[in-house]
């Protein structure tokens, strides 16, 4: 009986402990779409912000910001999509 009560009380708490990775995923046109670039950024120090602008398949301007990681990979940290006026 005590086990059943413990499960009923702890079940919802354990269900709330799931990890939900909210990080941005690359889209077509992103620098890291299809994997990290082969070229390593050796001249820029880790922590450097790298802006990137492209137009997506719907004609929207997309502005992304990456941060160079200590292993010289790029981490996508922000994205803004702006619809062009007609």
Predicted confidence (pLDDT) per residue in 35-82, tens digit: 998 887 888 999 999 999 999 999 899 999 999 999 999 999 999 999
Phi and psi at residue 24, to the nearest 5°? -70, 140
pTM: 0.69
**H or E stretch covering 7:** helix 2-15
Model confidence over 1-44: pLDDT tens digits?
Answer: 766 565 566 555 555 554 444 688 999 999 999 999 888 788 89
């Amino acid at each position: 009986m005590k086990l059943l009560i413990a499960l009923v009380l702890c079940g919802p708490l354990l269900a709330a402990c799931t990890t939900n990775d909210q990080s941005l995923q690359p889209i077509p046109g992103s620098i890291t779409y299809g994997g990290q670039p082969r070229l390593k950024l050796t001249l820029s120090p880790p922590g450097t912000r790298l802006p990137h602008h492209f137009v997506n398949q719907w004609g929207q301007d997309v502005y992304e910001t990456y941060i160079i990681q200590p292993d010289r990979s790029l981490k996508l940290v922000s994205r803004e999509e702006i619809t062009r006026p007609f």
